[in-house]
Chains A and B, each alone.
Chain A
Amino acid sequence: MSLSRHARTYWIGFAVIVGLLILAPLVLPEFWRRFLTEILIWGLLAMSSDILIGYTGMVSFGHSAFFGLGMYGAAAALLTVKPPNLWLAIVYGLAGSAAVALFVAYFSTRLRDIYFAITTLIFSQIFYVIIFTWTEVTGGENGLAFSRPGFGIPGVWTTPFTSTTLHWFVLAVVAGSYLLLRRLTQSPFGMVLQSIRENEARTRAIGYPVERYKMVAVMLSGLFAGLAGVLYALQNRFAAPDFVYFVVSGEVVIFNVMGGIGTLVGPIVGAAFFLGLREGLSRLFPYLATSFNLPYLAEFPYLVPVGLIFIAMVIFMPQGLLGFAKRWLNR
């Protein structure tokens, strides 16, 4: 089998990065191991929203709803079925997010541009209010806590997750989702989505049922966001309404813009950049406060500098880190 030079470089690069991510938990201390796993999970969520933002040209400000329903779906499976079953948690989580995605897709795809963004935002807020106030089922403000299921085939062989094997599991799911989404975006289906982004009226005129394509895109995106929610629930062993709040959706959009939309990898890079900045800055300010005797800086919120960096990137670097790096390499 002969690959083109470009494809070969791509696959070598992919193998190297996945290889490094496989080895990373073996050398990293516990905290950074969990941090890396978390980047992968947020990256999957951001990647799922890239299907809409980058490929179809619809900005979703409601991805927290899909993510949160994935979380609560997993929680439902882990709390009601004994013994807790990993695969059932994934199925429940995906079912939950799919149901919400169907609902949101049906209504919001009638609208375009800003209207779509606002509608998704308000839908996610409806789900937030429902989850927040329906205390008997969802645990309300406190959320739900549960134990982590083991990995394996139920009834035959199971083994509990360690933070290293959980990292590998998450990595496998994220890498698999990436390959699947990459294939999808290169398929005829993905091409139609991109043509909707470029010129919706013409796509419709050619004869594609644009609304149906958009609905499928929203549902697909919602499913992968739900998968990210399940992984997050497995990692942290709780589900909380905070993750359904629209601020999470906003962060997902930030990941996308920081990393570079329409690239699938970009959002993961963006998530890593954002979370790295957060870790760095939330250590920097207390450090500055103690070493330069500026006590008022100790509590300085990291989101102020992150927000300023974000605004600067929107203005000066709209193609994101990845797009910027690509242009710089090709120079």
Chain B
Amino acid sequence: MEIPWDIIVIQTVNGVVTGMILALVASGLTLIFGIMDVVNFAHGELFMLGAYMGVVTLAATGNFWLALVVATLIIAALGAALQVVTLRPLLGRDPLYTILATFGISLVLQNYALWQFGPVARKIQEPFTGQFALFYLQYPWYRLLIAALSAAIIGGLYLFLKYGRYGIWIRATTQDRVMAQAMGIPVPWVHTGVFAMGAGMAAASGVLFGPLVGVNHAMGLDWVLKAFIVVVVGGMGNLGGSIAASIFISLLEAYASIWVSPSQAIIVSSVVLILTLLFRPTGLFVPTPK
């Protein structure tokens, strides 16, 4: 069989682009998990609502970049509110209850979005429509820009965690919640802040991804499932691992969809998940535990 190099190159580019968006979603998820042991089932819904906020702001102002910023800020505020109202009372209880609470949130948000925005998919106009030739395709520059922007946001997050004053608070809380509290760090507010950051990142990825597919109320489901796979494969609570796993899984799915339909490609990532669980249950991209 002849190897279709052109298709493979195209799919590599596609895989990296979706991988970067997935990394943006998953790094919020893994940050929230790492710091407060909360598996956020509502993460996909925050992604979806972010995209809708983008649609609404874009329709009102006509400026894509403004829409991106406004959607991120609104959803970050919503995330902070959700954390204070529903997750803070559950602090110290079995993590099961936080899963259930976020599952409830996701039900409410998804059905609310269906009612508010209707079942018809909305479209976000991409900020510019330039294209370049990639073999037989006219490949939009915008997709590469998404990948670059996602990488920039994640890089910013990394620098913030590494050097920022509040970033150090976050890392201290992740390592030892009680000790951090004793050192005068306002742990409950760190939790709220991290949830807001994760929500904002999900919203940003929603707006960035919006132009590629339509925006509809169920779009969060696919993403949250993929993000879960990525977070488990990358090692729960491990930021670098989730980013590597995002790109790895997206590349695999992109290559798989050369031969099978895209809806079946998720089986490939599921197989990766199963193999990871069998042979390296702590995650593929973490050092072997001693």
Contact = CB atoms under 8 A, between A and B. Distances in A.
Contacts of B257: none
Interface string A109-146: 01101110111011101100110110000000000000
A111 B101 CA distance: 22
B225 A315 contact: no
A106 B96 CA distance: 22
Contact of B100 (A130, A132, A257, A299): A257
Tell me whether chain B's interface is mostly helix, strand or loop, or mixed.
Answer: helix
Nearest to B229: A122
B273 A315 contact: no
Contacts of B114: 301
B270 interface: yes
B225 A303 contact: no
B103 A111 contact: no
Contacts of B33: 114
Given A115-B232, A121-B225, A129-B264, A314 B100 contact: yes
Contact of A107 (B89, B103, B104, B278): B278
Interface centre among A253, A303, A315, A318 (most CB of B within 10 A): A315
B36 interface: no
Interface string B77-102: 00000000010011001011101110
Interface stretch (B105-113, B124-132, B166-174): B105-113
Contacts of B111: 301, 303-304, 307
A253 B90 contact: no
B263 A315 contact: no
A2 to B, nearest CB: 40
Q: Classify chain B: how many residues form its interface, as a range.
A: 35 or more
Contacts, number: 106
Given A118-B232, A122-B229, A122-B270, A110 B281 contact: yes
24 contacts: A107-B278, A110-B278, A114-B33, A117-B96, A117-B99, A119-B232, A122-B225, A122-B228, A122-B270, A122-B273, A123-B270, A250-B103, A250-B107, A253-B100, A254-B104, A301-B115, A307-B104, A307-B105, A310-B107, A314-B90, A314-B97, A315-B86, A315-B90, A318-B93
Given A115-B281, A129-B263, A254-B104, 17 more contacts: A114-B37, A114-B99, A115-B236, A122-B229, A123-B270, A129-B264, A130-B267, A246-B225, A253-B100, A301-B115, A303-B111, A304-B111, A304-B112, A311-B105, A314-B97, A314-B104, A318-B97
Interface of B: 33, 37, 39, 86, 89-90, 93, 95-97, 99-101, 103-105, 107-108, 110-112, 114-115, 225, 228-229, 232, 236, 261, 263-264, 266-267, 270, 273-274, 277-278, 281
Interface of A: 59, 107-108, 110-111, 113-115, 117-119, 121-123, 125-126, 129-130, 132-133, 246, 250, 253-254, 257, 299-301, 303-304, 306-308, 310-311, 314-315, 318
